[in-house]
């Protein structure tokens, strides 16, 4: 039964995650945390972090990780297939339609309408991730706000926006600083 649940959950995500992996995050969160209870919000944030650090699309990496966690390697395969099958079919169909009808104003209007909705979905996922990473009880927290997490976020944001540094370097640096701040200095309870 878990295989069917994994396949169906990630099939729905793959079917409706217009806008890419970040737009899929609210749907993944709904399935994984709310619908099935496979993870907590904090575990979900860790999942997103791991999915970002590994090559490949975030939705596919999430499907593989959750599937493996719930049902081992077969679960990872089933969840991943559930996630990519709709995308493959939709992309082939859309490519054909776009090639044939790209000059129509109705197509351009629909695409313009989808853009703000996708940005909203990405922003929703960001708010969820901020909540679970900034508000944690650690030795580095003041009034329930994890000061080190907020500082790492601010530093990463500035470095990425101002100097356009590689996200890989930023994540590596944040990992090192997190190691020092949380483990070495004993900020994790």
Q: Give me the pLDDT at residue 187, please.
A: 55
Domains of the chain, by residue range, sit at 2-134, 137-189
Q: Mean pLDDT over all residues of the chain?
A: 89
pLDDT tens, residue by residue, 141-171: 788 888 899 999 999 999 999 999 999 999 9
pLDDT tens, residue by residue, 54-68: 888 889 999 999 999
Integer angstrom CA distances of residue 89 from 72, 73, 93, 148? 27, 24, 6, 44
Stated as kind and residue range, the H or E segment containing 21 is: helix 21-29
Query: Cα separation of 81 and 60, whole Å?
Result: 9
pLDDT tens, residue by residue, 7-56: 999 999 998 887 677 778 889 999 999 999 999 998 998 988 888 888 88
Q: Give which of 10, 3, 6 is closest to 87, Cα–Cα.
A: 10
Query: Cα separation of 78 and 67, whole Å?
Result: 7
Q: Give which of 23, 1, 31, 11 is closest to 79, Cα–Cα.
A: 11
DSSP string for 45-71: HHHHHHHHHSSS-HHHHHHHHHHHHHH
Give the contacts of 61 (CB within 8 A, at least 6 positions apart): 50, 51, 54
């Amino acid at each position: 039964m878990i295989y069917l649940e994994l396949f169906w959950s990630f099939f729905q995500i793959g079917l409706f995650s217009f806008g890419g992996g970040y737009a899929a995050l609210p749907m993944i969160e709904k399935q994984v945390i709310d619908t099935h209870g496979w993870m907590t919000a904090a575990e979900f944030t860790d999942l997103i972090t791991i999915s970002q650090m590994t090559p490949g699309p975030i939705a596919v990496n999430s499907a593989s990780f959750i599937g493996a966690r719930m049902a081992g390697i077969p679960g990872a395969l089933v969840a991943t297939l559930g996630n990519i099958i709709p995308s493959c079919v939709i992309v082939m169909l859309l490519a054909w339609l776009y090639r044939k009808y790209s000059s129509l104003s109705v197509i351009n209007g629909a695409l313009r309408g989808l853009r703000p909705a996708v940005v909203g979905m990405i922003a929703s996922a960001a708010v969820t991730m901020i909540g679970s990473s900034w508000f944690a009880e650690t030795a580095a927290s003041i009034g329930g706000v994890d000061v080190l997490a907020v500082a790492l976020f601010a530093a990463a944001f500035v470095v990425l926006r101002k100097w356009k540094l590689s996200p890989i370097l930023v994540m590596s640096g944040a990992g090192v600083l997190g190691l020092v701040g949380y483990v070495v200095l004993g900020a994790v309870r």
